[in-house]
Structure 1
Amino acid sequence: MRFLFLTILLAFGVAVAAQSVAPRDGWVVTPTAKPFDVLLDDLKSAVRADGFAVVTQAGPTGAARNRGIEIPENRVVGVFNNIYAVRILEASVPAMIEAPIRFYLTEEADGTATLSYKRPSFVFAPYTLDATPDLMIAAAELDTAFAAIADAATN
């Protein structure tokens, strides 16, 4: 039974490792020619240059490596700005659970990396029914800022 479970787990892991982030509704997916570490550094620089901050980072690659498992590099980078945090709280307390907005960096099989994120207007759209109009005004401003950060990081 353990062997069967391990075989299924390994087969699933191989399938996940081979997948790329595909375009989908509400997402921006930008493949690059950059290696993962370069894209990560460029993203952090672009975030700072645009007046935002990296407030969270998470990724399973290092922990997996410590367990003897090799998987492609990937990292979720949470980005936000206190000015928007206050505005979103004023517009909709429940919407604040979506902050920080996250960029997702994934390493491709060829060694390049992809930068993906959900548009802030897409992330905050479910909260509009019980929010003030400023929620979507702020989200639209965040769309512009996140597009600029992504553009700076990927070019």
Structure 2
Amino acid sequence: MKNVSIIGLDKEITHKLVVELNTLLSSYQIQYMNARGFHWNIKGENFFELHAKFEEIYNDLLLKVDEIAERILTLGGEPLHGFSDYLNNSKISEAKNISAGRDAISNLLSGFSELITTQRSLLSLAGDAEDEGTASLMSDYIKEQEKLVWMLNAYLH
């Protein structure tokens, strides 16, 4: 008999998913703080437009942080919750002292590209694990963020 979790998933593969989801959670937390900082510190002629856009972005990121943490719990894992853990596990670097709109947009664009890459990897792993819940979440995030990446890139060009 297979070693399965309470929701019927193989525990060994589920552990791998939890590790990767915690990496994703960490990256989301850093991306969230970067967007929040850009919202607070933006200056220049596009202030009003970018201030509002950064708020929209960080609010969406915050919702996804909660969903990812709850998915980790659903899989029987424990979400990371220390900021030092986020800094150590994130694939996105923290951004400091950025107040120029183009620099902030470029930074967010890079972060979202990294999130998409990580989510694609998780989508594949979730598929192998027959974990529809995680796969569905990753698919939804990828679809949304591909459009956002296109829009952020269009803003820069």
**TM-score computed with the length of structure 1 as normaliser:** 0.35
Larger Rg: 1
* Richer in helix (by share): 2
* Richer in strand (by share): 1
